Copies of this chain bind each other. A is one copy, B any other.
């Protein structure tokens, strides 16, 4: 029995623009998914006890049918099952053990579907735990690559390398197309995350940006300006100047708003954090609902968000310099 964990992430800069070849900077956060893998005779049993939803157990049997014992939205269960299923397939492939059976238990404290990279963390931790259980230790970069293959498969080719790479490697990373690398020397970033309890429709949001960008030159320029913010932000990151980082986050949020991917609750949370003197705040992820990330080393933004209508959950989540790891 092996337990591995992997972190979720926020986008410090660059979501949406990254789709068009601009760089982005996702950062791993101190919120993790834990996956325990135990080799069994055959098949696959999945227990998800605390993915911020009611627990469920799924058993894959020899007849190829799955028998979920569930009390939650089927789409969420199927998504979770799909990720674990493909992650285990990657582990079997990596360990050259095609017939290996597994019992997989999942626990996590990352809100699901909130744009915090819960599925990438699940896949990364599952691949690591299952391969270790089979006696194989993969380098983080290979786990990142295999996890990307899983997301690519499960998400019908719509995956980005950003989430899986960030979760596997930890820290602040830079993603530009297929080129992913860790940004060295970034040890601490005081993130506060506000969550409105909802989630946007990622596909529709990405499509909306594409339509604007195709139709209007100024929208294409806005996407390019986000890329420039990322390049500026990389340089500022090295200096540890939170004031300027926050200024760039604020600007990035405005450009995302212009591209139509913010929402009433996201803007409300962003303003709550700014009015509480956070260095800066922006939505993180696809938008349309979900999470904002603020930069604040005090408790003020956290407290302000706690009392902001529409903010369902708020927590501090420092930059996590650890990626995937055995527990």
Q: Name A residues whose Cβ lies closer than 8 Å to a Cβ of B.
A: 212, 216-219, 221-222, 224-226, 228-229, 232, 250-260, 262-264, 267-268, 271-272, 274-275
State how many copies of this chain the complex holds. 2
Q: Which single member of B218, B250, B260, B262 contacts A225 (CB below 8 Å)? A: B218
Question: Provided the pairs A254-B259, A257-B257 are in contact, do residues A221 and B221 lie with their beta carbons within 8 angstroms?
Answer: yes
- CB nearest neighbor in B for A254: B258
At the interface, is chain A mostly helix, strand, loop or mixed? helix
Query: CB-CB < 8 A to A255: which residues of B?
Result: 222, 254-255, 258
Query: CB-CB < 8 A to A217: which residues of B?
Result: 228
> Can you spell out 30 A-B residue pairs with CB atoms less than 8 angstroms apart?
A212-B251, A216-B229, A218-B225, A218-B226, A218-B229, A218-B232, A218-B251, A221-B224, A221-B225, A221-B228, A222-B255, A250-B258, A251-B258, A251-B259, A251-B260, A252-B258, A253-B258, A254-B256, A254-B257, A254-B258, A254-B259, A254-B262, A255-B255, A257-B258, A263-B271, A264-B268, A264-B271, A264-B274, A264-B275, A267-B267
Query: CB-CB < 8 A to A225: which residues of B?
Result: 218, 221-222, 225
Q: Which single member of B216, B228, B250, B263 contacts A218 (CB below 8 Å)? A: B228
Query: CB-CB < 8 A to A254: which residues of B?
Result: 254-260, 262
Alpha-carbon distance between A82 and B212 when the two chains are bound, in angstroms: 46
Minimum CB–CB distance for A115 against chain B, Å: 19
Query: CB-CB < 8 A to A229: which residues of B?
Result: 216, 218
- CB nearest neighbor in B for A221: B225
Query: CB-CB < 8 A to A212: which residues of B?
Result: 251
Query: CB-CB < 8 A to A262: which residues of B?
Result: 254
Minimum CB–CB distance for A271 against chain B, Å: 4
Query: CB-CB < 8 A to A221: which residues of B?
Result: 221, 224-225, 228
Alpha-carbon distance between A216 and B230 when the two chains are bound, in angstroms: 12
Alpha-carbon distance between A275 and B268 when the two chains are bound, in angstroms: 14
Alpha-carbon distance between A224 and B225 when the two chains are bound, in angstroms: 11
B216 touching A232 by the CB < 8 A rule? yes
Minimum CB–CB distance for A53 against chain B, Å: 28
Query: CB-CB < 8 A to A268: which residues of B?
Result: 264, 267-268, 271
Alpha-carbon distance between A219 and B250 when the two chains are bound, in angstroms: 12
Alpha-carbon distance between A228 and B218 when the two chains are bound, in angstroms: 6
Minimum CB–CB distance for A256 against chain B, Å: 8
Alpha-carbon distance between A253 and B259 when the two chains are bound, in angstroms: 10
B271 touching A267 by the CB < 8 A rule? yes
Query: CB-CB < 8 A to A222: which residues of B?
Result: 222, 225, 251, 255
- CB nearest neighbor in B for A229: B218
Minimum CB–CB distance for A196 against chain B, Å: 13
B251 touching A219 by the CB < 8 A rule? yes
Tell me which of A218, A263, A274 has the highest count of chain B C-beta atoms within 10 A of its own C-beta: A218
